[in-house]
Amino acid sequence: MSAAEWAGSLAAFMVVMNLVCLAITYWRLRRPQRGSALLDRLPPVTIVRPVRGIEAFSRETLSSGLRLDYPHCQTIICVADAHDPIVPLVNELIAEFGARKLRLIVGDVAVSANPKLNNCVKGWDAAETEWVILADSNVLMPKDYIQRLMASWRPDSGLVCSTPVGSRPDGFFAEIECAFLNTFQARWQYAGEALGFGFAQGKSMLWNKPFLDANGGIAALAAEIAEDAAATKLVRKAGKHVHLVGQPFEQPLGTRSLYDVVQRQFRWARLRRVTFLPFFLPEILSGPLIPCILAGFAAAAFGFTAWQAVGLVLLHWYVGEMLLAHGVGWFISWRFPFALLARDILFPGIWAYAFVAGEVSWRGNEMKIKTDGEDELNDAVPTLSPVNLRSDGRS
């Protein structure tokens, strides 16, 4: 075959592989959830949620964890700074739901350069249950949140987690974030797990506390700058597997600026680059850029113009993604194809920038990530001694 024919065949192969990946993800998300022994006894569970600052949906997401249909559950909210603006809201929720359901702990334990992990340590230590969920503040928890996590626990599980699914975007840039979170990142994560390559995601993580404590405790998650990367490696080293929840949990987005979206993707790409380089390198092949280039080069050999060939690639690529989103109940709108296109224009630059960028930002903390994976934190919040607040919010 000529070079053009080879290029056209490779482009077609990549499009077919993308559709196969989408089909695997659809099958994984739609298959019936198997039972778990954990659901037979419903053991007590502690949810540890690190918070910092007020977000658009803070009241809704935090209170969702207090309305769960689960009989034995307590939430511990951790905040590093007693003067954080989120504290009054947490105290209101304590007054509304009671101290038995919700506890606030203030303070910071510096075990790493990861401020989120540092904020979780005191909550983890305070948890008295065998099962602990580490959950981000912006996770919207359905009433069967704990049951769904536990239903995915298997005898060979070391961790069950959920990737975030973007919902309720307000504006086009937020829809771009949905395009990144849902049919790009979430689908690749579910497809990978279905093929035996499960990776942890820090949004919601169900841990067996004795298991993690026996393997270094929560401080062991400081082995990597991203706690979910450290969790993946820890679980695999212990001979266990990371499993994903049957259906992922929502992260309501609200309004986003283009800067917000790109900076978040810069941070995540840089973290993936320094923690899982062999998996990060081929990420550039996961978008339609390469098949579009190949199709454009091969177009004349198959009787098409370059633009027609590129259009055919994008048509099959995006129709597949939209069918997946519709089939599993993820966000979709008339603007979503344009959001997908914007995502795929941005992604090659984000991927390339991950190899040269040295700093990322996490909620105002500038984190310098070195090429060898070591890291340091600049301008972090002041470190406080852990202080337990009473149920009424007073020291």
* Alpha carbon separation from 187 to 219, 220, 262, 313 (Å, rounded): 30, 28, 20, 19
Ranges of residues in the chain whose predicted pLDDT is under 70: 35, 357-395
* Alpha carbon separation from 53 to 42, 79, 90 (Å, rounded): 33, 9, 11
CA dihedral 183→188→194→197, nearest 10 degrees, is -160
- Residue 17: CA count within 13 A, CB half-sphere: 12
- Give how far the C-alpha of residue 111 lies from the chain's centroid of Cα atoms, to the nearest Å: 22
- Closest Cα partner for 215 from 234, 195, 188, 201? 234
At position 376, the amino acid (one-letter code) is E
What is the spatial distance between Cα 168 and Cα 21, in angstroms, rounded to a whole number?
Answer: 26
**pTM (two decimals):** 0.88
- Closest Cα partner for 298 from 1, 2, 5? 5
| The pLDDT of residue 370 | 56
Q: What does the angle CA 228 – CA 149 – CA 130 come to, to the nearest 5 degrees? A: 80
- Closest Cα partner for 386 from 49, 47, 81? 81
Phi, psi of 284 (to 5 degrees): -60, -20
What is the spatial distance between Cα 190 and Cα 164, in angstroms, rounded to a whole number?
Answer: 12
